[in-house]
Structure 1
Amino acid sequence: MMVSVNINSIKEYYPDLEIKKIQVNNEGWDHEVVIVNNNLVFRFPKTNHTRNKMVIEEFLLKNLKRISTQISLPNYEVIKNDKGIPVFGLYKYLKGHPISNIKYKEPLKSDTNAKAIADFLSALHSLNYYPLKKIGLDCTYNREYWTELYNKIECILFKYLTQWQQEDINNLFDNFFNNNLYNHYKPSVIHGDLTESNVLIEKSKVTGIIDFTDTQIFDPAFDFAGFYWDLGPEFTQKILKFYHGKENINNLYYRIKHFYGIQPIFHEMLHHLEHVGNFNIQDFMEKYNNYRCM
C-alpha cells in the first residue's frame, strides 16, 4: 500500500516523468527507497523524526560537495508540500554497488581506497558544525543512547552468552563509560552510519557514499567503526595514515579498537533476534572474541 502511495507522490510532483522501471527497497529503518529508471532515487521518510532530519541532510550535502573529494555524494534535494513539510528526498542514482553485496573483500583494501575514504572523512570532520546546529543537528549517540544499548544487551542477549562473555562485555562498556579518552574528543560532524551498505564500490574502487540520515555532532572515531568491523583493523589503520583530523591518531584509534569498532556486533545480534529468529549467536561471538584479543 505504502509503495503505491509513494509512486503516486512521484507522479504528482513529476507529472512529466515517464516511469519505465521501478525498484523498491523497504528494508531500511528510516526510508522507503524508490529507484526510477535506474536514474533517480526517491527517499520517502518512514517517521516524522526522519522527515525532520531530511533538511539537515540536504544542507550538509550541499556544503560538503563544495569541498573537493573524489568520492561521489548524492546531489540531494528535499521536495516539500505547499505547507513546507518534506515529502521525499531526491537525487540522481550513484554508480556502484554496496560493499555488503561483495563476497570477496580483499581487493577493496587498497591504498587508493584508503586514501579516498580518508580524504572524505577529513573533509566531513573539518566542517563547521555551528550552521548545522542552528537548523537542528545534534548528538544522538549520547550517554543515554549507549546506556540503553547496554541495557538491551543485558536483558536480551546475556541469556545466550557464557559468564565469561558477559563479564567481557561488562568490561568493554565499563571502559567506555569511565575512560576519559571517550569524553575528551573534539566534536565533529560525522556521517554516523558508515556501514558496508552505505559505501559504494565499482571495479574494486570506492565510488560513492550514501545515506546521511544519521549525521550528527559526535566523536569522529565513530565513523571508522564500520570499516574496522567489516574490513578489519589493518585497513582501518591504513585509512588513518591518510586521515587529517583534529587530534592525535593514536587516541582516535584506541577508541575505535576498544569500543566503536566492536559495538556493531551488538546491533547485528539484536537485529537478528528480532527479525531472523533462528541463528547461531556463537558465530557472532567468535568474531567478537577475535577482535577483542587483537
Structure 2
Amino acid sequence: MDELERIAEAFPELTWSRARRITEGWDHVVVVLDEALVFRFPQEAPYTEALAREVEVLDHLSPRLPVRIPRYDRVAPDGSFAGYPLLPGRTLTPGVLGALDGAARGALVDQLAGFLSALHTAPVPGTPLERVPASCLAEDQDDVRRAAATHLPAVLSPEELGEVEQILAGVDALLAADLPAVVVHNDVYSRHLLWDDDDARLGVIDFSDMCRGDPAVDFAELHEYGEAFVRAVHERYTGPTDPGLLDRAWTYQCWIGVYMLTDHFDVGKTSWGVARETFDRVRRGR
C-alpha cells in the first residue's frame, strides 16, 4: 500500500486534488497534499517508535517557542505516520539568506537565537521532554570511525586522511569531556529552516533527531551560512553558553563533513558531490 492509500484509509474524510512526494530526506518519506498538509512516514523502526513522542513534545513546545514548528493534528490509528498543517515559507538556503535586506536578516537572527535559547533552557522535569533521549553521538562516532577506515583510504589523499583522523580525535575529546546537556534540535541546517517573507517569520521543521546533548551541536551546521552568521546568532543567544561553545560547534561541523563522506558509502543518501563539497568546505576552515 502506497502512502496515499494509507492516508485515505486512515483519514477517509480527507480529500485532496494534488499530492507531492518528497524522498530526499534521510529517515522519512514526506507527502504534501494540496500544499496545505504534510504527512511524514518514518522509514526505520526507531523513527516509527519515536513518532508518538515527537507529536507530544512538539505540542508541548509550540506555544513556548518564538518560531513556527510543526504541530501534528492527524496521527494514523496505528501510529505509523502523522500529519500537520504546512508551515509557510521558503527553504532558507544561503542564497535566500544573502538576498534578505538588513531588517529581515536581523529579524531572522533574533528569531533563530530566540528559538535556540528557549529550546536549550526548556524545563524538563515533569514535562514530555523527559522522554527525549540522550545524544547517540558516541555510537555514531564508532560507526563513522569504522566506515572511514573501510571506505575513505581509497578516495582520499594521505593528507586528507590525516585531517579526518584529526577531526575524529577532536570529537573523541569532546565525548570524554564533562559538557552541558540540554534539549537540542540536533539537525539545524538550511533544509529544516523556512523563512516566510510575508510575515518575516522563521519556521523550524524535522525534530525527529531531537535529543539531550551539548547546546553547541545546534550551532554547528549554521556554518553553512558563514562564521559571521554563527557569531551573530550566538551574540543574541541567552541559553547556556561557555567560552568553548563556538569552538565545539566548529568541531561538530567538521565531524558532519566526515559523517557525510561515510554516509555516501554506508547508506547512499548523500551524493558523493554533496559529501565532498561539505568536507572541502570544512577543510578550508572557518
Same fold per superposition (TM over 0.5): yes
CA deviation after TM superposition for structure 1 residue 156, in Å: 1.2
Task: Tell me, yes or no, if structure 1 residue 75 matches structure 2 residue 68.
Answer: no
| Helix, strand or coil at the partner of 2:195 | strand
Counterpart of 1:195 in structure 2 is 189
Counterpart of 1:141 in structure 2 is 136
Task: Tell me, yes or no, if structure 1 residue 107 matches structure 2 residue 91.
Answer: no
In the alignment, which of 229, 232, 237 is matched to residue 238 of structure 1? 232
Contact kept, 8 Å, 2:144 with 2:262, in 1: the verdict is no
Task: Tell me, yes or no, if structure 1 residue 94 matches structure 2 residue 91.
Answer: no
CA deviation after TM superposition for structure 1 residue 21, in Å: 0.9
CA deviation after TM superposition for structure 1 residue 284, in Å: 4.7
Measured in 2, the distance between the counterparts of 1:281 and 1:30 equals: 17
- Structure 2, unaligned runs of 5 or more: none
Sort the Cα spacing of 1:138 and 1:29 in 2 relative to 1 into closer, same or farther, 3 A.
same
Sort the Cα spacing of 1:191 and 1:98 in 2 relative to 1 into closer, same or farther, 3 A.
same
Counterpart of 1:218 in structure 2 is 213
Which residue type is aligned with residue 213 of structure 1?
Answer: S
Q: How many residues matched?
A: 279
Contact kept, 8 Å, 1:78 with 1:87, in 2: the verdict is no
Worse-superposed segment, 268-277 or 42-51: 268-277
| Helix, strand or coil at the partner of 1:189 | strand
Measured in 2, the distance between the counterparts of 1:62 and 1:242 equals: 26
CA deviation after TM superposition for structure 1 residue 266, in Å: 2.1
| Helix, strand or coil at the partner of 2:183 | strand
Worse-superposed segment, 52-61 or 272-281: 272-281
Task: Tell me, yes or no, if structure 1 residue 254 matches structure 2 residue 247.
Answer: yes
In the alignment, which of 29, 32, 40 is matched to residue 35 of structure 1? 32
Measured in 2, the distance between the counterparts of 1:269 and 1:206 equals: 34
Counterpart of 2:7 in structure 1 is 10
CA deviation after TM superposition for structure 1 residue 133, in Å: 5.9
Could you state the TM-score of these two structures normalised by the residue count of structure 1? 0.85
Contact kept, 8 Å, 1:160 with 1:281, in 2: the verdict is no
Counterpart of 2:56 in structure 1 is 59
In the alignment, which of 267, 290, 293 is matched to residue 284 of structure 2? 290
CA deviation after TM superposition for structure 1 residue 169, in Å: 2.1
CA deviation after TM superposition for structure 1 residue 176, in Å: 2.4
Counterpart of 2:119 in structure 1 is 124
Which residue type is aligned with residue 161 of structure 1?
Answer: L
| Helix, strand or coil at the partner of 2:109 | helix
- Structure 1, unaligned runs of 5 or more: none
Contact kept, 8 Å, 1:139 with 1:218, in 2: the verdict is yes
What per-residue deviation string (whole Å, max 9, x for no partner) do you get for residues 47-85 of structure 1? 22111111121122112112141x21111245142xxx4
In the alignment, which of 165, 168, 180 is matched to residue 186 of structure 1? 180
Which residue type is aligned with residue 185 of structure 1?
Answer: L
Task: Tell me, yes or no, if structure 1 residue 269 matches structure 2 residue 266.
Answer: no
Which residue type is aligned with residue 86 of structure 2?
Answer: Y
Measured in 1, the distance between the counterparts of 2:81 and 2:195 equals: 26
CA deviation after TM superposition for structure 1 residue 88, in Å: 1.4
Measured in 2, the distance between the counterparts of 1:148 and 1:122 equals: 31
CA deviation after TM superposition for structure 1 residue 140, in Å: 3.9
Measured in 1, the distance between the counterparts of 2:149 and 2:97 equals: 33
What per-residue deviation string (whole Å, max 9, x for no partner) do you get for residues 254-277 of structure 1? 2012x1122222233334453577
Sort the Cα spacing of 1:77 and 1:48 in 2 relative to 1 into closer, same or farther, 3 A.
farther
Which residue type is aligned with residue 256 of structure 1?
Answer: A
Contact kept, 8 Å, 1:188 with 1:219, in 2: the verdict is yes
Measured in 1, the distance between the counterparts of 2:62 and 2:149 equals: 42
Measured in 1, the distance between the counterparts of 2:171 and 2:121 equals: 25
Which residue type is aligned with residue 75 of structure 2?
Answer: I
Sort the Cα spacing of 1:276 and 1:254 in 2 relative to 1 into closer, same or farther, 3 A.
closer
Percent sequence identity over aligned pairs? 22
Measured in 1, the distance between the counterparts of 2:274 and 2:31 equals: 33
| Helix, strand or coil at the partner of 1:261 | helix
Sort the Cα spacing of 1:160 and 1:284 in 2 relative to 1 into closer, same or farther, 3 A.
farther
Measured in 2, the distance between the counterparts of 1:263 and 1:107 equals: 29
What per-residue deviation string (whole Å, max 9, x for no partner) do you get for residues 147-195 of structure 1? 2212212321233222222222222222321258x62221111111112
Measured in 1, the distance between the counterparts of 2:258 and 2:245 equals: 21
TM-align CA RMSD: 2.6
